[in-house]
Structure 1
Amino acid sequence: MNKQEIVDFLMTLPEIELDYPFGADVMVFKVLGKMFALLSVNDGVVDINLKGAPADNEALTSVFTAIRPGYHMNKKHWVTVSITDEIEEGMLKGLIDRSYQLVVAKLKKIDRDRLAIQR
């Protein structure tokens, strides 16, 4: 996936907001005000920071060279995924969905219920 395809996919998720709190180079995607993905381009490579379960993140970073502990994030709960040939589209979409769901799970029940209706 290229950067625009990733952005297009992210924007299909319910209640997404796009923000630039860290400057024009870092796209921050939020669900109901809570960050779940950061997208940037570094040295020509698209990177996306995503939230994940600590055990899953540890496994991913040990298996894939394109996935490493989250850059400028809590390294236990976030990973940075560099978009290379190693990362298949289905896997990336799954990681994005998982990040979204982990953040949604921490929202108030009324907000979770509203999102469940939209999905």
Structure 2
Amino acid sequence: MHIEQARELCLSLPQVEECFPFDDVTLVMKVGGKMFALIPLDSEEKTIALKCDPDKSDYLRMHYKGITGAFHMNKLHWNSISL
């Protein structure tokens, strides 16, 4: 999956809006004003950070090598997925 495909998938969900509240290279997806995905556009490694159920975040990181704790985010609630 490429960054544009991840963006299009997020935008296909109901009531999703995109914005750049932090800088001009971090695309943020929100529903109801709350963030659920961050896509760094300037990173060499193409990733997406997704908000996760805290009861499942560790499990996903332990079972899938492409899933790690999201950089600069609360690791209990956010996972980073390699695209």
TM-score (normalizing by structure 2): 0.89
Task: Report what 1:61 is aligned to.
Answer: 61
Deviation, structure 1 residue 54: 2.0
Could you list the structure 1 runs, at least 4 aligned residues long, displaced by more than 3 angstroms after superposition. Answer: none
Q: Give per-residue Cα distances to partners, 1:13-70, cap 9 Å, x unaligned.
A: 1111111012111100000211000011421x22111111223110111122211112
Task: Report what 1:25 is aligned to.
Answer: 25
Separation in 1 of the partners of 2:53 and 2:39?
Answer: 19
Separation in 1 of the partners of 2:4 and 2:56?
Answer: 26
- 1:1-40 map, 5 Å: 1-40=1-40
Task: Report what 1:82 is aligned to.
Answer: 82
Look up the equivalent residue of 1:36 and give its one-letter code. F
- Greater percentage in strand: 2
* Aligned length, in residue pairs: 82
Separation in 1 of the partners of 2:28 and 2:38?
Answer: 5
- Segments of structure 2 that go 5 or more residues without pairing to the other structure are none
Look up the equivalent residue of 2:53 and give its one-letter code. A
Task: Report what 2:49 is aligned to.
Answer: 49
Separation in 2 of the partners of 1:58 and 1:50?
Answer: 13
What CA RMSD, in Å, does the superposition of the two structures yield over aligned residues?
Answer: 1.2
- Segments of structure 1 that go 5 or more residues without pairing to the other structure are 84-119
- Greater percentage in helix: 1
Q: Higher Cα Rg: structure 1 or 2?
A: 1
Separation in 1 of the partners of 2:50 and 2:35?
Answer: 9
Separation in 1 of the partners of 2:54 and 2:20?
Answer: 26
Deviation, structure 1 residue 78: 0.8
